[in-house]
Structure 1
Amino acid sequence: MTLPDFSQPLYFLLATLVIFAVVIGRYFLIAGLFFGIFYRWKPQRYAARKINERAHKPGQFRREVYWSTITAGLFAVAGAALLVLWQQGRTRVYLDVNEYPLWWLPLSLVIAMLAHETYYYWLHRWMHHPRVFRIVHKVHHDSNITSPWTAFSFHPLEGVLQALFLPALLLVLPMHLYVVLTQLTIMTFSSVINHLDIEVYPKGFARHPLGRWLIGATHHSLHHKQFKYNYGLYFTFWDKWKGTESPLYEGLFDEKTGK
């Protein structure tokens, strides 16, 4: 089947709308699932795992969905631009699973996530510069107590900075289309879990040889409260190496998980 030329304005718009539907649909599905379970159903076993005791601000969820919808639109434009670049042969995205060895599928995912972590950590620290923060990052931190809907709640300038990473990476890193989609899904799940404000990981996870390198709700909630710690996205290694992990993290995790 011959695809239309997505560089043409009409087809570019149609591609953007389709990608927007996918991005916003995934956001509502995953954030809505966690919101329904932990904020509406409220399992008793997680009652003590609520990190902040104060209620969310009036109208916060509506505001977060508003900003997240704009972010989804920006991600959709970036996705449509990536589609044009792919169609023109300028990206390393491939469709034939046999084009590279099978072991490259998981390895490319790991490389992409480590690269994303590095980009985001240093971008995040830059966004906390006082002059930059007020313009770019304050919208996200208006959610002092986070929720599942906070996951994509960014000012448009921050949304653009977030959206640029993956297209730029795919200009140089070969990735199968399904691996790209897997990373995007992991990103959404991770962001929702990190902003849940309810710790879902098990007791002892923060000290586990594997768990200590992964970010969860307790870890990221301290960033929204303290501002100068815990800048990571998926992993804690940059925070540990650069001395920016909150000294309160392990103690608060133990407190919330009942060690």
Structure 2
Amino acid sequence: MLLSLFEGLPFFVLWPVLAAIGVGWYLVVCGGLYLLLHRSRLARGARRFKTQQQPTRADQVRGEVFDGVLSMSMVMGSIAIAFWCSYHGYNRLYADVSEYPLWYVPVSIFGVFVVMEVFEWTFHWACHRNDLLWKIHKHHHRYSNPTPFGVMADQPLDMFIKSSPILWIPFLFPIWDVALIGTFATLNFLYGTYLHAGFDPPFMPSPHSRFLVSAWHHNEHHAGSMDHNYGFFTGALDILFRTRLSPSDKAAKRPGYRCTECRGAATP
């Protein structure tokens, strides 16, 4: 389906076209959420759900947007390479959903989810353990009080590596193009936007959730506890390897500390 939309384009045209689409998607989604949480009439009421009480500096937001545009272009480069490989028969990315039984679509999506979760945790953990990888990844930690724009605010090479599953998943197993790109666009990008927004509304995972990653967990990773909370969707691997940090753990080290949920519960 998606493959057929761009079939016939040379690679040097395909990448810029996809990059323009991706950057537009990034600016609309992250820009809209930023305006809603920081500049709209709802911003004052939403502030009680903000993990860090201090406002984000304007120069940081500009830096996030600049880095985000470059990094999104790298992500779309990964997609362009995957498409090019499919056009030339090098991988098993397919356009016609009827090519495999319909039951295979959710199975392959689950496979993408598992690969993404394991790869994200492993690469993220390695970035904080290996000096060379840290030199690439530390740019992302410039933003200790991130906004929705921060989801893509990486050094471009860092983001290219993070998006590399788009390249090699179609070599592991057949995957419908809509399933692959859709899973990344929703689970990875949209959930990542929530994690970097720095707000914990009650309808999203609780900071005290045992197995899910909330905005609190990822914000805490940015704000100082960089040796904890590497998970992206679930805390399974953090729990397994003892790198999970909860609000209760932080309160044990800093008596009187309260997460957004606890602050709300304490408000009469």
User: Aligned residue for 1:79?
Assistant: 79
Change (3 A) 1:122 1:58: same
Q: Normalising by structure 1, what TM-score?
A: 0.88
Confirm whether residue 185 of structure 1 aligns to residue 192 of structure 2: no
Q: Secondary structure at the residue paired with 2:136?
A: helix
| 1:171 counterpart SS class | helix
The within-5 A match list for 1:25-104 is 25-41=24-40, 42-104=42-104
Q: Give the conservation status (yes or no) of the 8 Å contact 1:19–1:80.
A: yes
Residue 62 of structure 2 aligns to which amino acid in structure 1?
R
- Verify the 8 A CA contact 1:199 1:257 in the aligned structure 2: no
Q: Which residue of 1 aligns with 2:201?
A: 200
Alignment-mate amino acid for residue 138 of structure 1: K
Q: For residues 182-221 of structure 1, what are the alpha-carbon distances to aligned partners after superposition, in whole Å with 9 as ceiling and x for unaligned?
A: 11221111111000111134388455xxx64332211111
CA distance in 2, matches of 1:50, 1:4: 44
Distance 1:167 1:134, change over 3 A: closer
CA-CA distance at 1:95 after TM superposition: 1.9
Contact preservation (8 Å) 1:65, 1:153: yes
What pairs up with 1:228-239 in 2 under 5 angstroms? 228-239=227-238
Residues 35 and 148 in structure 1, CA contact (< 8 A), matched pair in contact too: yes
Counterpart of 1:216?
214
**Structure 2 residue aligned with 1:14:** 13
Contact 1:199 1:256 in 2 (8 A): no
What do residues 111-131 of structure 1 show as CA deviations (whole Å, max 9, x unaligned)? 101111101101001111262
- RMSD value, Cα: 2.4
Name the % identity: 19
- The count of aligned residue pairs is 252
Tell me if the contact between 1:219 and 1:249 (Cα under 8 Å) persists in the aligned partners: no
Q: Given residue 30 of structure 2, which amino acid in structure 1 is its aligned partner?
A: A
Distance, in Å, in 2 between the alignment partners of 1:159 and 1:90 is 23
CA distance in 2, matches of 1:164, 1:175: 15
Alpha-carbon distance change, 4 to 47 in structure 1, aligned in 2, over 3 angstroms: closer
TM-score of the aligned structures, taking structure 2 as reference length: 0.85
Structure 1 CA distance for aligned equivalents of residues 168 and 54 of structure 2 = 40
Structure 2 counterpart of 1:173, one-letter code: F
Match of 1:248 in 2: 247
CA distance in 1, matches of 2:54, 2:133: 24
| Deviation of the 1:132 alpha carbon | 3.2
SS at match of 1:24: helix
